[in-house]
Structure 1
């Protein structure tokens, strides 16, 4: 038996106000679904952040509906949980529930286990770090149920695990139930596969299916997992998707012409116009040089950006040389300004994503909830 584990599809995400980039996300998702059908998987797990916003566009809704319909037509069941992008803080029914009610897919984010043949599958929707304490008894309950089951047991979560990413982690691996044979994770956008000795099987993040704005411009691979559970051990294989190339190139004023020549040669080998970023060092004595080189790239790229950076930035900046560390740097700065790790976590992990999507009402609700939590904590403090 084989199943597909797909996460962070972010259907409806539009980068650079570009219809092509919106369609890139749909193309990657359709690839994952069509590959699953071609490979005759038994079922598909969608591990949260199905849509990019809680109120997705009609096009995004139709893309998902058509994909789920193709799965049903091929007798492939699908199961889903909700990520933070799927859940509105303003009370409303999440859009993915429509597919559950129509019988296109099955919602499993309430912690109640279901069975696919002899496979136990249990899932929980996204829980914020502040809710971790209330999460413990529910995880303990599902662990006890999994322990009694003799077949494979799959846990589906949309959470950050601290050992994988300490800044995006809401739980430690030791907080997870011990008796599952596969941990189908969502939330982190880089694919990761870990094996912890205290867990009953591999813990896997497929990563997002396409680059999103939080990841910057970089050359990377995206995909999903297919997991073979025909034996006692769960065996995941990562399947690479064919996505649009994004390139971030370091150059200098003196070498930009030669570097652009080499870049153009590489671009000619690609099937789709890439997104390109030039990071340029050196004295800006003749700005026209840069403009003329960027103009050469304009016709053969989907988007071409450039930025002038100092030599120090080029050799040591967290933002330039280590794009995966951006979250760490933001967290450090927020903590320095706010004077509190907890407030920094709230600002970066909860409030900033809402503000960046223009969700004013949900942002206000988040601030109110956080303030109420602060007041509750202050009341419980014992003054000695």
Structure 2
């Protein structure tokens, strides 16, 4: 037996953290089509590999009121799989929740969509094996109840598989609203495989790697970095083994570049020369981090923090992005030990840093904003704290420089 486990397609995703006015039109078209391209590659692989079925575990669309284009594209791909007699099982998640009226979806006959209550459907494979697959679809954006309790125990089918769009309670995310569960609850069901969705980071939750988040199929911002795609799951000695297959046409990554005292005018050449040496094999969206063991001049810091330096870089990037196969989305600084010089005592500043610049303080200041998953992810990233500290340091240094210049 062989099947595809994919989740979180997020067709029609708006992409976060991009300044659309600076992006070349042909590059923007690639961005806009990237979630569609990734899913089309998944369908291509399903057909070429002649899989037994495809599981799509929630958030096929980025929002409940998705576009006609996204809907017709999905149906088109389902029909391609139908032409090759490949069954597709769909559960909807918190982004694309629906009323549960399955007969109104208009999907081809190969497609089974789970309603709002947990149900089990059984597939009879070409070799005679029976596969029992259990799942449900979100009926609203928030589901606080542990729906896992409604899943049946494993049946006497040859294989038992669970599809669940939700969150493991121990993951570092504000996920109490998304059908929470714990690992023991999954294991107690006795299933051969759990196909999970909702968490965009690909990960296995047990040593046997039979309980998996496949991650999303296309990263949409820097906190969803690295390759994205799906899991090809194959049976070997009555154990289901997953293998990751990359399909995303765009990957996000962070690039460290050493700062060696260049002027603000020299710095772009340093950056692009370094990027050219990396030979990106796939279109890459980059967060560039200037790593410095010396104090970065205040004029460079100011240009970085007020966005003018990024604008200048992107204007240059419009001319060479195809050659370099990359696009700079942001630029940050990391100074190993920023120094505050003059009347502000360094020891007091270091003490203030340790007491003030903490993750707890940052979360308190964020308030209700941290309920948004992408903001929560950003707040949990260590470089966010570093960036805020570096910005504050630069502001203090600039003010000190002005005071010393006036005195």
SS of residue matched to 2:243: strand
Uncovered stretches (5+) of structure 2, i.e. residues with no partner: 21-27, 125-129, 339-357, 378-407
Task: Spell out the pairing of 1:16-55 with structure 2 (5 A cutoff).
Answer: 16=18, 18-55=28-65
Report how many aligned residue pairs link the two structures. 317
Larger radius of gyration between Structure 1 and Structure 2? 2
Q: 1:352 to 1:189 in 2, by over 3 A?
A: closer
* Deviation digits for residues 237-288 of structure 1 (CA, Å, limit 9, x no counterpart): 2112252233432333735433420202335x5464x323333462243659
1:58 shift after superposition? 1.7
Uncovered stretches (5+) of structure 1, i.e. residues with no partner: 315-328, 354-384
Q: 1:265 to 1:334 in 2, by over 3 A?
A: closer
**Which of 221, 224, 227 is residue 230 of structure 2 equivalent to?**
224
Supply the RMSD in Å over aligned alpha carbons.
3.6
Paired residues of 2:57 and 2:165 also in contact (CA < 8 A)? yes
CA distance in 1, matches of 2:319, 2:104: 43
CA distance in 1, matches of 2:361, 2:92: 29
TM-score (norm 2): 0.67
Look up the match of 2:318.
298
* Deviation digits for residues 23-70 of structure 1 (CA, Å, limit 9, x no counterpart): 111111101110111000010000000000111112211221111011
Task: Spell out the pairing of 1:54-203 with structure 2 (5 A cutoff).
Answer: 54-87=64-97, 98-100=105-107, 102-109=108-115, 110-117=117-124, 118-126=130-138, 131-133=144-146, 135=147, 137-139=149-151, 142-143=152-153, 146=154, 148-163=155-170, 165=172, 168=175, 170-176=180-186, 177-195=188-206, 202-203=210-211
CA distance in 1, matches of 2:88, 2:72: 16
SS of residue matched to 2:145: helix
Say yes or no: does 1:208 pair with 2:221: no
1:125 shift after superposition? 2.5
Paired residues of 2:102 and 2:114 also in contact (CA < 8 A)? no
Look up the match of 1:382.
none
1:202 shift after superposition? 1.0
Say yes or no: does 1:240 pair with 2:246: yes
CA distance in 2, matches of 1:124, 1:331: 36
* Deviation digits for residues 332-371 of structure 1 (CA, Å, limit 9, x no counterpart): 7446776xxxx898x3459999xxxxxxxxxxxxxxxxxx
**Which of 312, 315, 335 is residue 311 of structure 1 equivalent to?**
335
Paired residues of 1:132 and 1:171 also in contact (CA < 8 A)? no
